[in-house]
Structure formats: structure tokens, C-alpha cells
């Protein structure tokens, strides 16, 4: 019987089977996990991979325009070629390469490149030489004290400090242009256009850059805007300026917090600054969609930009041009008289006493250029930013202060004779023999003595000739508080920055109080004089002066003026104290000044038969020179005469108030009458222009009749 064959045993060990089983289990778990991730979290991971960032960018728009009260454009925008750069994630070396290419195509101003900029650029271009300036031993020592960013910062600073002047001089003119361009490239935020050149971009530069944009990633050609002043330098100091190179460094955080970009141009001074929120407009907004690497995938417009709102000024530019011409002519004429070495300026304000609207604001100043040439420049701001002793023009406020305090009563009289206080020179009126003065005639003839007696009574003193005079020092605050009701010695509230309130004398001697009531102690601005006389003219309301009349939507496409957004309403700051009949007496005195023989302005108005029924008050102040030539005169400044005039017309229904101030008019006891000449010619021009417009024959060549007094004419001056 055949023996059965034995069953063949497997040669695969048991433990290998176990290993295969384990691997099978692991692969199964992995497959299950992958399936789970794909099914449950697949969409989440896909969104993460495709994640983008939305970055909103604001693009600037043209500023609002300014026009005068008749609709004439004063400040406009003119388009100009511009070259910009937008950083879309470029690295430093990439930006420098683009800057080098661009520098071969345009001329770039390098005047603003600083020494630190040059050193940084030298290190970039000479990295090995820069590294050699700090030895390995020094670095090892520094590592014992510092680490991380602090270490890198210290090493870099050592490199900067050790760059020599000779090494900096290695930078060529081309290098500096590249550096200047690179500074602009890196000065702002990513995806925000930075201005590289917007002034003096020639048509050739604009064309060649446009043709090579594919070789200049981030660079673009566009249109920028520049402020245009239709009347040249007329009123330029009041209109203000706009920054050329983005936000001012001293106000950077302020503007950035208000959603401005670093390269935005903003108002730097005066109206441009005061009304920045109105003029700067609403920026165009676009959304840049980028991937994780910072590459722009899509640009989506969000909102269209809107040009800034327009301002309608209260200024009448035809009148302004004519007044400027008069002021300049009279300043030149006065400068030709003897004793006028220190005369260099003159100011005029025309104001509507009913509303506070400034109709004209003129100032002219003689300035010596570096080559010694003397030119006359606009100084309209001097009406609010400079203050002087103004003299007798304040006497209307003095009379009202006397009435309010009970120091005098309407009709009270004093005999005009010099006031002699022991130990001081006699204090007298401008002319001897004025006789017995009432409150009204004291204004007409400009009696100082009447004002002195009023001040003595306000101060509770008793005047005895040639004896000491004692006055209560509280009288100073009493007078100043009263004057402030008219705008004298305080800010007027005009809608312009940096208004000055004037200087208040600190001494309290009795003689100073007497000087105060005749305008020869404290100082006032010409705008304060305009507000003061307007308060008298309108019956006792101190109006807030304003130079902006309306805020309007931007001009329509067809050139029509836009609808009104805001009209600046007349604002009464305060009502003066006192009875109406008291103010009537002051007004009557002002009328006699101009319309009755003997009045200190009669020869300029009443004697010439002016038909616009003027009223006013002249002023002459003994003062001390404090101008640009002051340093030449040592400790004691020269004595000078300041001239002023305030007035209004027509007397029975005032529509215009005027203030004229001519500081440091002359030296000596006799001189010219520029204050009255200017006031006469300006008021003549105002009413003549009004007649021309009413008849439809307005003359726009800004010429005025020469009405200057002849040198030989004798006129009265207090």
C-alpha cells in the first residue's frame, strides 16, 4: 500500500503575516481618513487655498473751487501730466530696478534727497563694502549684548556712521535721480498710488513713459491737478496755499486718522486750511482683490470720486482789484513824502455792517529783495495778523464807555485845555484852542482832553492842575471790557486762522489810562477797527466778520453754479450796552467829522460834496516803530505816527463800513494824509461801481480816478 504524501507546510513565518495585517489596517485607516477629510473638510481647505484679500484704495479728486460774490472764478484747478507708482508687492531690489529704468526716461528733482537717504542707497549699491565696515570681532561682541532686531539695527547704524564723505561723493547725478524716484516709490502704502512727478512733466516724458509701461511695473501715467489763481497774487495771502508733497509732517497723524493718504495734498494756510473739510472732496474708492502672495487679481470700483465743494466768497473781486490799486498808489505817493523812511505798509477792510460780510480786504507792503530791489507785495493778512496803536478812531467807544459808567452824560461839556499832571509832560489835543467841547463836538474836532476827563471820571479821580493824579486801576479793565463789546482788543471771529487780538499795556499809571482812551496804549488790528465801526453803524450789534458767503455743490458741467449746501448766516456776537439815544450821539459826532466844516475829515468828504452821505472818524497815534528795521535802532525805537480812519455810508442807512490803517506813516509833527486819501478814493470807487452795475455799465478795467490832494492843500489833522 502506497504511503500518503505529507502536506507541504507554508514557508511564510507567522510574524510576517501579522506584519502584513498591520500594514493593511494602517492603509485602511489612512484611506478612511483621507475620505473623511475630503468629504467633511474639503470645501474649507479649498477656500483656504483660494483665499484672497480685499484692499480698498482711495484715489484723490480735484479740490473745490472758489469764486467771488458775483460768480467770478478766483481759484480753479488746472490739469497737468503726472507719473505715479503703485507698489503691488514689489521687493526693494525690484523697485530700485524700476527706478533706474524710469530715471533714464524722465528728469527728477533731487533737491529733497537727504544725507541719510544717500547713505541708505550707498549701502544698497555697495553691500560688500558696507559689510566690511563692521568686523566679525565687533559683531561677536555685540551679540553678547544684543540680539534679534536690536542687533541688526546696531550693526546697520555702525555702517551708516562709517560711510565717509568721499564715498557718498561716489554717487553720480544719475544715482541721485534713482534715489529720489525710489524715495517716492517707497513713501506710501502698498496698492496706493504715489506721486513720482506731477510738475514739469513734459509731453515727451509723458509719451515715452506711457510707451514703456510694460517695462515699468507699478508705474503709470495719469492726470493731476494744480491750483490756478485767476487774479494772480490778488488776495493770495488770504486764499492760502496747498501742500505740494502730501500731508504736512507736523499734522500727519491728524490727517491719517481722518482717512487721508500720505500723498494727499491739503490746505496749508488761510481759506484753503480753514475750509479743508469742504474743499478736499470725496475720494474715488476702488477695491483691489489680491491673492495670498499679494498679486492683484481684480480691481473693482466701489464709488466714483466727487470734486470738492465750491466756496462763494463775500469778496467782490472788481472792488478788490480797484482797492488794491488805490492802496498801492497811495502807499507809493506817501513814500515819496519826507519823513517816511519807516513807512512800508497800509491796510483796508470794507465790510457790510449789517451782515459781517467782508467785501474787500486789502493790504500792501514794501519788501526789499535780496538784490536790494524794493517791490510791493500783497499783505492782506496783515489786517488780522498785525496790530498797532490806532489813535482817535476809538473815541466813539470811549464816549459810550463814559455814558455807560456814568462818567459823563449826554451833553456834558469840558473846556479843552492841556492836562498838566505833576511830573509828566502836558497831555493835550492835537490843536490848541478847541474851546468848550461836548460829547458830539469832541468827536467832530477829535478832542483828546474831553476823553482824558472822561477817563479821569471812570477811574474815580479828581484832576487838579500840576498836582499828582490818582486813578483806580480797575478803570483799565472797565474800559477794556467796554471796548471789547465793539471788537477792540479781542478776536473778531473771522473765518481765518491765526487772528491776533493785540497787545494790552501792562502798566497802570494814571497817564496810561488817559492814553488808553485815545487809542495810544493798547494795540488793535484793522479788522477789529472794521468790526468796531460796523457795530456803531448798524446800531449796536457786533457782527462776526466772514469771508466765505456760501458753500455750494461743484459747478455743473455746463458751467452753471451748483446748488447751495450752506449759506453763512449773519451772526451777532453781542449787543453793546447803552441806550439807543447815546449811540445816536456818537453817530452824529461821526457825521460831523466828515460833513461839517472843522470836522477832521471834512476836507476829504464834505468839502467835495460826496453824495453818499458818509460818516467816520480819523485817527493819529504817537507810537514807537516795531517793524523789520527795528534792529538798526538799538534799545530805544524811533517815534512814529500811525494813521487810521473808520467810517460808513450812507449815514442814514449804512451798507458799507471801512477801516484804514497806515502804520509808521511818518516821523515828525507833520506829514501826509494817506489814511483819508485811501478812505475817500475807496468809498468813491465802491459807490461808483455800484452805480455802474445798476446802470449795466460796470467798468472792469479796475481803473480809478486820481483824487489825491495836492501837496500845497492845507487840511486839518488831529
Of 374-378, 575-579, 697-701, which gets the smallest average pLDDT? 697-701
| Closest to 679 (Cα-Cα) out of 701, 711, 709 | 709
> What pLDDT score does 386 carry?
97
87-91, 532-536, 668-672: which has the highest mean pLDDT? 532-536
Q: What distance in Å separates the CA atoms of residue 187 and residue 195, rounded to the nearest whole number?
A: 10
Q: Where are the beta strands (DSSP E) in 32-133?
A: 52-59, 66-67, 73-85
Q: Which residue has the higher pLDDT, 381 or 112?
A: 381
What SS3 state is found at 478? helix
What SS3 state is found at 310? strand
| Closest to 374 (Cα-Cα) out of 349, 348, 341, 347 | 341
Report pLDDT digits (tens) over 679-692: 999 999 999 999 99
Name residue 627's beta-bridge partners. none
| Closest to 361 (Cα-Cα) out of 211, 525, 242 | 525
> What pLDDT score does 505 carry?
94
Residue 649's alpha-carbon distances to 117, 572, 586, 589, 680, in angstroms, are 62, 20, 15, 14, 11
H-helix or E-strand spanning residue 442: helix 439-445
**Mean pLDDT of the region 354-373:** 93
pLDDT tops 60 at residue 182 = yes
| Closest to 396 (Cα-Cα) out of 687, 602, 678, 659 | 659
Cell of 331: 502807499
Q: Which of 237, 261, 346, 392 is catalytic?
A: 392
Q: Which residue has the higher pLDDT, 600 or 194?
A: 600
Q: What distance in Å separates the CA atoms of residue 602 and residue 444, rounded to the nearest whole number?
A: 9
Cell of 544: 462776526
> What pLDDT score does 707 carry?
41
Q: How does DSSP assign 115-146, residue by residue?
A: HHHHHHHHHHH-HHHHHTTS-HHHHHHHHHH-
Of 161-165, 242-246, 525-529, 680-684, which gets the smallest average pLDDT? 242-246
**Mean pLDDT of the region 57-71:** 81
Q: What distance in Å separates the CA atoms of residue 354 and residue 350, rounded to the nearest whole number?
A: 12
Q: What distance in Å separates the CA atoms of residue 245 and residue 265, rounded to the nearest whole number?
A: 7
> What pLDDT score does 40 carry?
64
Of 22-31, 362-371, 676-685, which gets the smallest average pLDDT? 22-31
Cell of 505: 499795556
Cell of 77: 484747478
Q: 26 exposed, middle or buried (CB, 10 Å; 0-12, 13-18, 19+)?
A: exposed
| Closest to 233 (Cα-Cα) out of 374, 75, 372 | 75
90 in Cβ contact with 206 (< 8 Å): no
Upper half-sphere CA count for residue 277 (Cβ side, 13 Å)? 3
**Mean pLDDT of the region 461-465:** 95
Other CB atoms within 10 A of residue 674 CB: 25
How are beta strands 66-67 and 310-313 bridged, if at all? parallel
Block residue for cell numbers 508733497: 245
Q: What distance in Å separates the CA atoms of residue 661 and residue 674, rounded to the nearest whole number?
A: 9
CA-based angle 614:617:620, to the nearest 5? 145
Q: How far apart are the first and last CA of the chain?
A: 166
**Mean pLDDT of the region 507-527:** 96
> What pLDDT score does 715 carry?
40
Could you tell me what percentage of the chain is helix, strand and coil, using 3-state DSSP and rounding each to the nearest 5?
Answer: 40, 20, 40
* DSSP 8-state symbol, 354: T
CA-based angle 443:444:448, to the nearest 5? 45
* Residue 398: band (very low, low, confident or very high) from pLDDT cuts 50, 70, 90: very high
> What pLDDT score does 432 carry?
83
| Closest to 433 (Cα-Cα) out of 447, 450, 446, 416 | 416
CA torsion sign for 51, 53, 54, 59 is negative
688 in Cβ contact with 590 (< 8 Å): no
Dihedral Cα 500, 505, 510, 513, nearest 10 deg: -10
As a whole number, the mean pLDDT across the chain is 87
pLDDT tops 90 at residue 44 = no
Q: CA 108 from chain center: how many Å? A: 29
Query: Is the backbone of residue 308 left (phi > 0), alpha (psi -120 to 50) or beta?
Result: beta
> What pLDDT score does 348 carry?
98
Q: CA 178 from chain center: how many Å? A: 35
**Mean pLDDT of the region 416-442:** 93
pLDDT tops 70 at residue 625 = yes
**Mean pLDDT of the region 399-416:** 97
Q: What distance in Å separates the CA atoms of residue 167 and residue 227, rounded to the nearest whole number?
A: 41
* Residue 87: band (very low, low, confident or very high) from pLDDT cuts 50, 70, 90: confident
Block residue for cell numbers 507708482: 85
pLDDT-above-70 percentage for the chain? 87
pLDDT tops 60 at residue 501 = yes
**Number of separate helices (H) and strands (E) present in the chain:** 24, 20
For the chain, state the CA radius of gyration: 39
Of 5-14, 369-378, 497-506, 532-541, which gets the smallest average pLDDT? 5-14
Q: What distance in Å separates the CA atoms of residue 312 and residue 564, rounded to the nearest whole number?
A: 10
Q: Which residue has the higher pLDDT, 359 or 189?
A: 359
CA-based angle 14:20:21, to the nearest 5? 90
For the chain, what's the residue count? 718
pLDDT-above-90 percentage for the chain? 63
What b-and-e string marks burial along 328-353, b requiring 16 or more CB atoms within 10 Å of the CB? bbbbebbbebebbebbbbbbbbbbbb
Q: Which residue has the higher pLDDT, 369 or 584?
A: 584
Cell of 251: 499734522
Upper half-sphere CA count for residue 678 (Cβ side, 13 Å)? 36
Of 88-102, 602-616, 637-651, which gets the smallest average pLDDT? 88-102
**Mean pLDDT of the region 215-221:** 89
* Phi, psi (deg, nearest 5) at residue 27: -65, -40
578 in Cβ contact with 400 (< 8 Å): yes
* Residue 295: band (very low, low, confident or very high) from pLDDT cuts 50, 70, 90: low
Residue 478's alpha-carbon distances to 392, 450, 455, 503, 513, in angstroms, are 19, 18, 10, 17, 11
Largest CA distance in the chain: 178
* Residue 2: band (very low, low, confident or very high) from pLDDT cuts 50, 70, 90: very low
Report pLDDT digits (tens) over 649-690: 999 999 999 999 999 999 998 899 999 999 999 999 999 999
> What pLDDT score does 714 carry?
37
* Residue 12: band (very low, low, confident or very high) from pLDDT cuts 50, 70, 90: low
Q: Which residue has the higher pLDDT, 272 or 244?
A: 272
Tell me, yes or no, if 446 is annotated catalytic.
Answer: no
Amino acid at each position: 500500500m502506497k504511503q500518503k504524501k505529507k502536506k507541504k507546510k507554508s514557508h511564510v513565518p507567522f510574524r510576517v503575516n501579522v506584519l502584513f495585517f498591520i500594514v493593511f489596517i494602517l492603509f485602511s485607516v489612512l484611506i478612511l481618513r483621507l475620505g473623511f477629510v475630503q468629504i467633511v473638510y474639503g470645501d474649507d481647505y479649498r477656500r483656504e487655498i483660494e483665499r484672497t484679500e480685499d484692499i480698498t484704495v482711495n484715489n484723490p479728486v480735484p479740490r473745490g473751487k472758489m469764486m467771488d460774490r458775483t460768480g467770478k472764478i478766483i481759484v480753479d484747478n488746472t490739469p497737468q501730466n503726472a507719473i505715479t507708482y503703485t507698489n503691488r508687492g514689489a521687493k526693494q531690489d525690484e523697485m530700485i530696478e524700476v527706478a533706474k529704468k524710469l530715471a533714464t526716461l524722465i528728469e527728477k528733482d533731487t533737491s529733497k534727497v537727504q544725507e541719510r537717504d544717500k547713505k541708505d542707497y550707498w549701502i544698497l549699491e555697495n553691500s560688500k563694502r558696507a559689510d566690511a565696515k563692521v568686523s566679525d570681532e565687533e559683531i561677536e561682541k555685540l551679540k553678547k549684548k544684543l540680539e534679534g532686531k536690536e542687533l541688526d539695527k546696531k550693526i546697520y547704524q555702525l555702517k551708516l556712521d562709517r560711510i565717509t564723505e568721499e564715498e557718498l561723493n561716489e554717487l553720480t547725478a544719475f544715482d541721485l535721480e534713482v534715489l529720489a524716484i525710489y524715495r517716492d516709490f517707497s513713501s506710501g502704502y502698498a496698492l496706493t498710488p504715489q506721486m513720482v512727478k506731477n510738475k514739469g512733466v513734459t509731453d515727451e516724458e509723458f509719451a515715452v513713459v506711457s510707451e514703456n509701461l510694460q517695462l515699468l511695473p507699478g508705474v503709470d501715467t495719469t492726470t493731476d491737478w494744480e491750483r490756478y489763481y485767476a487774479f494772480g497774487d490778488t488776495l493770495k495771502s488770504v486764499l492760502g496755499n496747498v501742500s505740494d508733497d502730501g500731508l504736512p509732517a507736523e499734522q500727519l497723524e491728524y490727517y491719517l486718522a481722518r482717512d487721508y493718504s500720505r500723498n494727499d495734498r491739503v490746505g496749508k494756510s488761510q481759506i484753503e486750511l480753514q475750509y479743508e473739510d469742504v474743499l478736499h472732496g470725496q475720494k474715488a474708492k476702488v477695491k483691489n482683490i489680491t491673492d495670498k502672495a499679494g498679486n492683484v487679481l481684480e480691481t473693482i470700483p466701489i464709488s466714483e470720486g466727487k470734486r470738492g465743494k465750491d466756496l462763494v466768497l463775500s469778496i467782490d473781486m472788481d472792488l478788490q482789484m480797484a482797492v488794491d490799486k488805490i492802496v498801492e498808489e497811495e502807499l507809493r505817493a506817501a513814500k515819496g513824502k519826507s519823513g517816511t523812511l519807516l513807512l512800508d505798509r497800509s491796510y483796508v477792510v470794507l465790510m457790510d455792517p449789517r451782515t459781517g460780510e467782508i467785501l474787500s480786504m486789502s493790504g500792501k507792503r514794501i519788501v526789499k529783495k535780496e538784490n536790494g530791489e524794493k517791490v510791493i507785495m500783497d499783505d492782506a493778512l496783515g489786517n488780522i495778523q498785525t496790530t498797532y496803536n490806532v489813535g482817535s478812531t476809538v473815541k466813539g467807544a470811549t464816549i459810550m464807555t463814559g455814558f455807560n459808567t456814568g462818567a459823563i452824560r449826554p451833553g456834558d461839556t469840558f473846556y479843552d485845555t492841556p492836562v498838566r499832571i505833576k511830573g509828566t509832560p502836558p497831555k493835550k489835543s492835537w490843536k490848541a484852542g478847541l474851546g468848550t467841547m461836548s460829547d458830539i463836538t469832541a468827536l467832530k474836532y477829535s478832542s483828546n482832553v474831553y476823553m482824558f476827563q472822561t477817563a479821569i471820571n471812570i477811574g474815580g479821580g479828581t484832576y487838579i492842575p500840576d498836582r499828582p493824579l490818582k486813578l483806580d486801576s480797575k478803570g483799565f479793565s472797565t474800559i477794556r471790557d467796554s471796548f471789547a463789546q465793539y471788537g477792540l482788543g479781542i478776536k473778531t471771529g473771522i473765518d481765518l486762522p491765526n487772528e491776533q487780538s493785540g497787545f494790552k499795556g501792562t502798566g497802570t499809571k494814571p497817564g496810561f489810562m488817559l492814553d488808553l482812551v485815545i487809542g495810544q496804549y493798547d494795540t488793535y488790528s484793522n479788522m477789529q477797527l472794521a468790526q468796531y465801526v460796523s457795530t456803531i453803524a448798524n446800531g449796536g450789534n457786533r457782527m462776526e466778520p466772514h469771508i466765505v458767503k456760501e458753500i455750494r455743490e461743484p459747478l455743473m458741467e455746463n458751467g452753471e453754479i451748483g446748488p447751495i449746501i450752506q449759506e453763512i448766516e449773519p451772526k451777532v456776537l453781542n449787543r453793546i450796552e447803552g441806550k439807543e439815544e447815546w449811540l445816536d450821539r456818537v453817530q452824529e459826532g461821526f457825521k460831523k467829522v466828515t460833513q461839517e466844516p472843522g470836522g477832521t475829515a471834512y476836507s476829504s468828504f464834505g468839502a467835495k460834496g460826496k453824495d453818499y452821505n458818509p460818516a467816520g472818524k480819523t485817527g493819529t497815534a504817537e507810537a514807537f516803530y516795531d517793524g523789520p528795521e527795528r534792529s538798526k535802532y538799538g534799545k530805544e525805537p524811533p517815534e512814529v505816527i500811525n494813521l487810521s480812519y473808520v467810517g460808513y455810508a450812507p449815514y442814514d442807512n449804512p451798507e458799507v463800513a471801512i477801516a484804514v490803517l497806515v502804520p509808521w506813516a511818518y516821523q515828525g509833527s507833520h506829514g501826509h494824509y494817506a489814511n483819508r486819501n485811501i478812505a475817500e478814493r475807496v468809498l468813491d470807487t465802491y459807490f461808483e461801481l455800484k452805480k455802474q452795475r445798476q446802470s449795466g455799465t460796470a467798468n472792469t478795467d479796475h481803473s480809478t480816478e486820481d483824487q489825491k490832494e495836492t501837496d500845497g492843500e492845507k487840511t486839518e489833522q488831529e
